[in-house]
């Protein structure tokens, strides 16, 4: 059982977004910006009023939709052609039928030219005949893949820039309220296609549905998840300062937590009454299963004393969480007997901090909440195309550059803005965890019976790491240190392969044929093992492995590699890499986790017998949508011998 956050993959259908600029020009201002200096950039940022509207999803049988961008000049000056550019974000590929358009796609009615920069980042450049008078506007139409049926598919913080000047975020698009996005009121706006059954709730319909679900004479649940057995008796007991906690040498930390929660002292001897006793009980197994037996516990609450029993640290910690849950009014506890044991060995949460960064403090809050609900696996998605979030000793560029987003087209100081992050350096979407931050997270998780499963996604979804190490390469080449420049390089610069991922990147796959790539991966795993070793020894390493989109076909290094390894073509490299990672992690006595699509070629799963037999291969199956005919994928993986997590 798993909960997945932020693994944000576009739909498998084509949709089209139309964004149109239609000029409505009046010669009503005397001052014209026809040269570019910082004052023009500032003027556009402050006076360009952006409006985005979806026109219709009912365009091309689920493949495309149309929308409209309106730019109004609310200032008193005229904006004319020059080298300024407006950057915006589109999570659907713009003009898919014309892609790639390296020289730009001319939007005739709006006198601007559209470019796809990378991923979700696009830009609009004025044509020579562009002119927008004071208080006039332009409208532009675009066509994009898939559909858009919600405001939140539009990203904020568009910005304007010109060569040699400082970029500025456009004020009318700032913030996450998305006030510049028009409403979704008509069926062709809020439905994905003509025969879509979806209809959004109104406040009135939502109230009615909730009211219909209300059930009378049902008491609220005191404990979530529901315990295996919960025998409630009449009466309650007030635990006040006259009570004590009997010390347990083996489970002192839990004794301390219980004492702190109730405001009690800890003593070494058991009094006659009014005590909370912590005892070890080796025969606890309410579900009669071995996989979660160490997480089982028993709580017995009487008017004279409370007994908390478990056979291991994890169970004792969960007993503490249950005590907190039933002590709701802060005064008394119900008289009861509670027996509990988790039904699932894996009770997880997946958090993607690559696309959207969460601070260390926010991670600790999430872990605290996980512990409250007795979740025990934290799948920590630490890297993505849009950000590298973990400091790796010896390779500072990964976080110095790969964790930061800003407008730097060369990506020497940061990676490009994505997903509404805006143009300033160290702004939204930027951030990383130092090694000490990460180890503090490990300690916090370990104290709460939560295993941290780090994911460094590769070979795809690794653009932030790739660009950071390309910048490292350029830095060392400038000073003539070719050995250091190539040490961790992930790029074959001679590779002319053209590919495009479902997140619209064409340069996000590490080159797995380079020896420096293998050196880099070994360094990563060794670094993670060292961070974990004295806190929570690393047990599972997740390498991602999903959504590799036709990379390496024209790579000279891969052609040599294929010949050396006796492999047929680049299509076999995905399988090769899965086995390489399996052997590498197995050598370190680690189990290997992957996204499920890393374990197949077409619809055929890899034979698990080809992997090391003493290693668990854990498939995280995110594509479970029954409406697409994918509801059986998890069963197929399990029947093939893989451990399976539903994500």
Looking at residue 24, its pLDDT comes to: 38
Looking at residue 32, its pLDDT comes to: 59
Mean pLDDT across 589-600: 95
Q: How many alpha carbons lie under 13 Å from residue 450 in its C-beta half-sphere?
A: 28
The rounded distance, in Å, linking the Cα atoms of 519 and 530 is: 17
Q: How far is CA 425 from CA 175, 401, 402, 403, in A?
A: 16, 10, 12, 10
Question: Is residue 561 helix, strand or coil?
Answer: helix
Question: Is residue 572 helix, strand or coil?
Answer: helix
State yes or no: pLDDT of 2 exceeds 80. no
State yes or no: pLDDT of 589 exceeds 60. yes
Q: Which of 547, 589, 601, 627 is catalytic?
A: 547
Q: β-strands 604-605, 137-145: how paired? A: unpaired
Burial of 346 (0-12, 13-18, 19+ CB in 10 A): buried
Mean pLDDT across 451-480: 98
What would the two tokens of residue 458 be? 């590769």
Looking at residue 7, its pLDDT comes to: 39
Residue in 210, 274, 269, 215 with CA at minimum distance from that of residue 241: 274
Looking at residue 628, its pLDDT comes to: 78
Handedness of CA 528, 533, 535, 539 (dihedral sign): positive
Summarised one tens digit per residue, pLDDT across range 217-270 is: 777 889 999 999 999 999 999 999 999 999 888 999 999 999 999 999 999 999
The rounded distance, in Å, linking the Cα atoms of 541 and 444 is: 19
Q: How far is CA 86 from CA 83, 264, 331, 363, 508, in A?
A: 10, 62, 60, 35, 24
> Is 547 an active-site residue?
yes
The rounded distance, in Å, linking the Cα atoms of 88 and 551 is: 27
Contact criterion met (CB below 8 Å) for 83 and 40: no
What would the two tokens of residue 642 be? 């893989």
| Residue 526 CB partners (closer than 8 Å, separation 6+) | none
The rounded distance, in Å, linking the Cα atoms of 265 and 276 is: 11
Residue in 531, 385, 396, 562 with CA at minimum distance from that of residue 459: 385
Looking at residue 31, its pLDDT comes to: 60
Predicted TM-score (pTM) of the model is 0.92
Summarised one tens digit per residue, pLDDT across range 515-551 is: 999 999 999 999 999 999 999 999 999 999 998 888 9
| Residue 609 CB partners (closer than 8 Å, separation 6+) | 641
The rounded distance, in Å, linking the Cα atoms of 220 and 282 is: 32
Residue in 460, 457, 489 with CA at minimum distance from that of residue 472: 489
Summarised one tens digit per residue, pLDDT across range 408-422 is: 999 999 999 999 999
Please count the other Cβ atoms lying within 10 Å of the Cβ belonging to residue 624: 14
Question: Is residue 307 helix, strand or coil?
Answer: strand
Looking at residue 100, its pLDDT comes to: 93
The rounded distance, in Å, linking the Cα atoms of 89 and 642 is: 38
Looking at residue 36, its pLDDT comes to: 73
Higher pLDDT, 646 or 4: 646
Residue in 623, 611, 625, 544 with CA at minimum distance from that of residue 582: 611
The rounded distance, in Å, linking the Cα atoms of 289 and 20 is: 62
Q: What is the DSSP string of 525-542?
A: HHHHHHHHTTTS---EEE
Summarised one tens digit per residue, pLDDT across range 43-89 is: 999 999 999 999 999 998 889 999 999 999 999 999 999 999 999 99
Summarised one tens digit per residue, pLDDT across range 305-358 is: 999 999 999 999 999 999 999 997 777 999 999 999 999 999 999 999 999 999
The rounded distance, in Å, linking the Cα atoms of 60 and 336 is: 61
Please count the other Cβ atoms lying within 10 Å of the Cβ belonging to residue 215: 5
E strands present in 315-372: 332-340, 348-352
Distance of CA 29 to the CA centre of its chain: 47
Contact criterion met (CB below 8 Å) for 39 and 84: no
pLDDT band at 172 (very low <50, low <70, confident <90, very high): very high
Looking at residue 643, its pLDDT comes to: 96
Please tell me what DSSP assigns to residue 550. S
State yes or no: pLDDT of 613 exceeds 90. no
Summarised one tens digit per residue, pLDDT across range 494-506 is: 999 999 999 999 9
**What is the rounded (10 degree) CA torsion for 598, 601, 605, 606?**
-80
Please name the residue that has the structure tokens 């002292």.
Answer: 265
pLDDT band at 127 (very low <50, low <70, confident <90, very high): very high
Summarised one tens digit per residue, pLDDT across range 546-566 is: 988 889 999 999 999 999 999
Summarised one tens digit per residue, pLDDT across range 372-397 is: 999 999 999 999 999 999 999 999 99
In the chain, what is the straight-line distance between the N-terminal and C-terminal CA atoms, in Å? 7
What would the two tokens of residue 291 be? 């996989």
Degrees, nearest 5: CA angle 563-566-570: 70
Q: Residue 371: which H helix or E strand, with range?
A: helix 360-372
């Amino acid at each position: 059982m798993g909960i997945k956050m932020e693994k944000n993959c576009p739909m498998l259908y084509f949709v089209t977004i139309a964004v149109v600029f239609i000029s409505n020009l009046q010669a009503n201002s005397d001052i014209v910006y026809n040269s570019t200096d910082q004052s023009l950039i500032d003027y556009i940022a402050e006076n360009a009023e952006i409006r985005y509207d979806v026109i219709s999803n009912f365009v091309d049988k689920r493949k495309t939709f149309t929308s409209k961008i309106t730019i109004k000049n609310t200032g008193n000056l005229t904006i004319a052609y020059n080298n300024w550019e407006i950057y915006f974000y589109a999570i659907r590929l713009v003009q898919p039928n014309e892609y790639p358009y390296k020289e730009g796609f001319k939007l005739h009615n709006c006198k601007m030219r559209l470019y796809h920069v990378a991923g979700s980042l696009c830009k609009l450049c004025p044509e020579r005949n562009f002119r927008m008078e004071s208080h006039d506007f332009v409208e532009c139409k675009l066509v994009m893949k898939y559909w858009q049926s919600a405001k939140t598919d539009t990203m904020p913080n568009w910005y304007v820039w010109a060569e040699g000047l400082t970029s500025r975020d456009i004020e009318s698009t700032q913030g996450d309220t998305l006030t510049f996005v028009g409403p979704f009121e008509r069926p062709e706006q809020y439905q994905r296609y003509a025969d879509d059954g979806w209809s959004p709730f109104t406040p009135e319909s939502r109230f009615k549905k909730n009211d219909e679900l209300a059930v009378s004479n049902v008491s609220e649940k005191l404990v979530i998840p529901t315990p295996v057995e919960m025998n409630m008796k009449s009466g309650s007991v007030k635990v006040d300062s006259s009570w004590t906690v009997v010390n347990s040498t083996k489970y002192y930390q839990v004794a301390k937590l219980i004492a702190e929660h109730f405001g009690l002292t800890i003593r070494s001897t058991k009094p006659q009454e009014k005590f909370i006793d912590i005892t070890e009980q080796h025969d606890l197994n309410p579900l009669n299963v071995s996989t979660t037996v160490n997480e089982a516990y028993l709580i017995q609450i009487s008017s004279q004393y409370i007994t908390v029993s478990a056979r291991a640290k994890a169970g004792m910690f969960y007993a503490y969480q249950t005590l907190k849950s039933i002590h709701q009014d802060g005064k008394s506890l119900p008289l009861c007997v509670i027996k509990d044991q988790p039904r699932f060995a894996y009770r997880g949460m997946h958090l993607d901090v690559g696309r959207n960064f969460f601070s260390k403090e926010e991670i600790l809050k999430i872990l605290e909440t996980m512990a409250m609900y007795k979740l025990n696996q934290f799948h920590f998605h630490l890297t993505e195309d849009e950000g590298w979030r973990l400091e790796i000793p010896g390779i500072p560029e990964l976080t110095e550059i790969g964790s930061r987003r800003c407008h730097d087209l060369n990506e020497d100081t940061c990676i490009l803005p994505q997903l509404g992050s805006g143009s300033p350096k160290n702004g939204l979407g930027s951030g990383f965890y130092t090694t000490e931050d990460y180890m503090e997270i490990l300690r916090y998780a370990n104290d709460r019976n939560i295993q941290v499963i780090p994911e460094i996604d590769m070979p795809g979804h690794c653009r932030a790491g790739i660009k950071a190490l390309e910048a490292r390469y350029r830095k060392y080449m400038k000073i003539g240190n070719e050995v250091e420049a190539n040490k961790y390089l992930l790029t074959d610069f001679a590779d002319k392969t053209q590919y495009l991922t479902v997140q619209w990147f064409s340069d996000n796959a590490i080159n797995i044929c380079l020896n420096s790539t293998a050196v880099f991966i070994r360094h990563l795993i060794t670094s993670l093992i060292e961070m974990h070793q004295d806190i929570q020894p690393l047990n599972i390493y997740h390498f991602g492995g999903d959504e590799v989109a036709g990379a390496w076909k024209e790579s000279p290094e891969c052609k040599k590699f294929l010949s050396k390894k006796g492999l047929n073509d680049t299509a076999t490299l995905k399988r090769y890499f899965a086995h390489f990672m399996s052997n590498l992690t197995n050598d370190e006595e680690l189990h290997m986790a992957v996204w499920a699509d890393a374990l197949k070629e077409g619809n055929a799963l890899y034979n698990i017998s080809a992997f090391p037999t003493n290693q668990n291969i854990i498939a995280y199956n995110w594509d479970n949508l029954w409406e697409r005919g994918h509801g059986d994928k998890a069963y197929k993986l399990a029947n093939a011998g893989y451990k399976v997590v539903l994500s």
